[in-house]
Copies of this chain bind each other. A is one copy, B any other.
Amino acid sequence: MKIALLFGANSFEHEISIVSAIALKKVLKEELIYIFCDYNRDFYLIPTEKITSKRFSSGEYKKDKKLDIKNGGFFHKTLMGEKKLNFDIMLNVIHGSDGEDGKIASLLEFFNIPFIGPRGEASVISYNKLFTKMYAEEFGVATLEYEILQKDSKKQTNLNYPVIVKPLRLGSSIGISIVQDKSELDYALDVAYEYDNQVLIEPFIEGIKEYNLAGCKTHEYNFSIIEEPKKEEFLDFDKKYLDFSRTKRVNEAEISEELDKKIREAFIKLYEPLFCGALIRCDFFVVDNEIYINEINPVPGSLANYLFDDFNSLINKLALSLPKNIEIPKTYKYIHKIQSAKGK
């Protein structure tokens, strides 16, 4: 199978995406081609053998073949016209905005390019932390209590301190602060507002248990091991950034069979049918044996390969289990009807 990795894009996590995409070179056994979307949203075909992070930070990639996305795929100019890039499936490895907010999903769906990754709806629901909460509650998975503040609203919260302040729509711990008391709130809000006009405030629970489970549905559910992520006070950006590039270094959770089962059940409640076609990682909290969903990552760093025994086979299976769209008949029967009614 020939897989096209799509990475980069106009995102605060642009660099993470580059590291994530490069990491997959060691993990996937298939033929890979690399399609880079730069900060300006121009697409380039990066030679697989020459891929290094420096190629992007130096701007050297601009000498690579430029691509246009169009109906049916990615095209590059030739002397005679243009040529379509040949691959079987695209893997969305763009983290944060563009990749996880529904833009890339929409582009690929609109132009009929088969891909692994969240569809438009799944992206919007998981990218916006408020929508994730609404969705999870609807399907019977609990979430922590919260408040939403707007950039122009009062800088105050009714929650008990300490609280955690997060931009409403961002991953990778960017712009997140733990706030011990009222005096620290203003600054934390200012930080978060640099990334979003809306912020989410939740209680910060010291020493909360966190468990991550990745997976996807093909003809059956395919689950990763459950990881208990190592953490400092909480995962900061640098830490996560390095995590994303790791290919094997996991802290498997030592939990009861019962908790294991509960976590899988919560995953299933959240996954289907919204996330079909994507390999997602759900990050759960456990408080007093109750499970809370913290975040749904529809494009986890390096797609959480390090949590699976045979990631390569999984991607192959998932590529064959993509959701199908309902066919829309291409007719003009109503216009014909009006025309004949008017005698035209």
Contact = CB atoms under 8 A, between A and B. Distances in A.
Interface of A: 10-12, 14-16, 18-19, 39-42, 53-54, 56-57, 68, 70-71, 97-98, 101-107, 109-112, 120-121, 124-125, 128, 130-131, 134-135, 138, 150, 194-198, 238, 241, 273, 326, 328, 330, 332-336, 338-339, 344
A102 B111 contact: no
A40 B336 CA distance: 20
A135 B135 CA distance: 9
7 contacts: A12-B328, A68-B70, A102-B121, A103-B110, A105-B106, A134-B135, A194-B326
Contacts of A98: 110
Given A328-B39, A336-B57, A103 B120 contact: yes
Contact of A41 (B68, B71, B198, B338): B71
B344 A111 contact: no
B134 A120 contact: no
A336 B15 CA distance: 10
Nearest to A40: B71
A109 to B, nearest CB: 6
Nearest to A54: B339
Contacts of A273: 150, 197-198
Nearest to A112: B41
A128 B121 contact: yes
A156 B237 CA distance: 49
A35 to B, nearest CB: 15
Contacts of A344: 54
A269 to B, nearest CB: 13
Contacts of A19: 335, 338
Contacts of A150: 273
A138 B128 contact: no
A57 B336 CA distance: 7
A332 B57 contact: yes
A339 B18 CA distance: 13
B41 A335 contact: no
B336 A41 contact: no
Given A18-B335, A334-B15, A335-B15, A106 B111 contact: no
A120 B121 contact: no
A136 B326 CA distance: 27
8 A-B pairs with the lowest CB-CB distances in the bound complex, closest first? A106-B106, A57-B332, A124-B124, A39-B330, A103-B106, A134-B134, A57-B335, A53-B335
Contacts of A125: 124, 131
Nearest to A12: B328
A12 B333 CA distance: 11
Given A120-B102, A196-B326, A197-B326, A110 B56 contact: no
